[in-house]
Amino acid sequence: MSLPLAIPSPDQAVWMLGPFPIRAYAFCILLGIVAAIVITNRRLIARGGTGEEIYDIAPWAIAFGIIGGRIYHVISSPRPYFGESGNLVDAFKIWEGGLGIWGAISLGAVGAYIGARRHGHSFGDLADALAPGLLVAQAMGRWGNWFNNELYGGASDAPWALTIHEWDAGSGRAVVDAAGDPVVLGTFQPTFLYESLWCIVVAVGLVLLDRRVRLARGQVFSLYMMGYTAGRLVIELMRTDPAEIIFGQRINVWVSIGVFLIGLALFLWQGRRGDYPQRGYRSSNDPSTVETAKS
């Protein structure tokens, strides 16, 4: 059977370096974390900070975020772990993939808040500085799903459709046929790619808006919540991978709507408070930034 023109998918997502497995999913997450730290560092400096603030909260945010992401994934997709043929031990195998962004952001924010309080930083300022970098991290992390042949939509023969293999999550490889060739299930909508691109678009939009509009403390992060979830809602409706259904919709559809409304409420509330940062976002080449930082 000849397949239509499509985006290829890897048939392997784990490589052995001696006795140690190198997993593409974990590597993409790690690259995203590094990118978020670098971007946030630069934004903090441009806002008049030292840039070191991100290193004070990063260990807390990362540790709590990973735990929260895994907890949300297990709760929102319980069948592989608590179902009839599920295995509870698999819930701890985070290296095989499965991090729920809602849990990662929620518990990661708790970790960031703890880190900010311990080191005397403004949590709102840090959240605003972090938002674009967080989106870039999410965009990069989604490519781990590409390696794992997961998070795709309905069947498609569009030129940008994604080739999907039958996958063995335990080995991190595609299932092969009698001839040793990877088994192809077909071509599908690449929803992982749509979300990755949407995250980049929202990240760029936040940076540009933050430079041109005077926003209250915390409003950039509120815009992140609204911007990301607006796209995630559309993408979630396209996905066909197994998910818990509530009132006829995937659970993440309802979560997207809820988080969007929370973000909108926070944006309006923060605007009414009128709590504006003492140091506005300026280019690091702007002399007034230097003067502000010295004051």
The DSSP 8-state label assigned to residue 89 in this structure reads G
Q: Cβ(99)–Cβ(66) under 8 Å?
A: yes
pLDDT in tens, the chain (295 residues): 444 578 999 999 999 888 888 889 889 999 999 999 999 999 999 888 888 899 999 999 999 998 998 888 888 777 778 877 777 887 887 766 677 888 888 899 999 999 999 988 889 899 999 999 999 999 999 999 999 998 899 999 999 999 999 999 888 899 999 998 999 999 999 999 999 999 999 999 999 999 999 999 999 999 999 999 999 999 999 998 877 888 889 988 999 999 999 999 999 999 998 877 765 444 333 444 434 333 3
- Rounded Cα distance between 43 and 86, Å, is 44
Q: With CA atoms as reference, report the closest residue to 9 among 189, 140, 170, 162.
A: 162
Q: pLDDT for 135-176, tens place per residue?
A: 999 999 999 999 999 889 999 999 999 999 999 988 889 999
Q: Cβ(277)–Cβ(270) under 8 Å?
A: no
What string of H, E and C letters represents the secondary structure of 109-151? HHHHHHHHHHHCCCHHHHHHHHHHHHHHHHHHHHHHHHHCCCC
pTM of the model: 0.84
Return all residues near 204 (Cβ < 8 A) that are at least 6 apart.
132
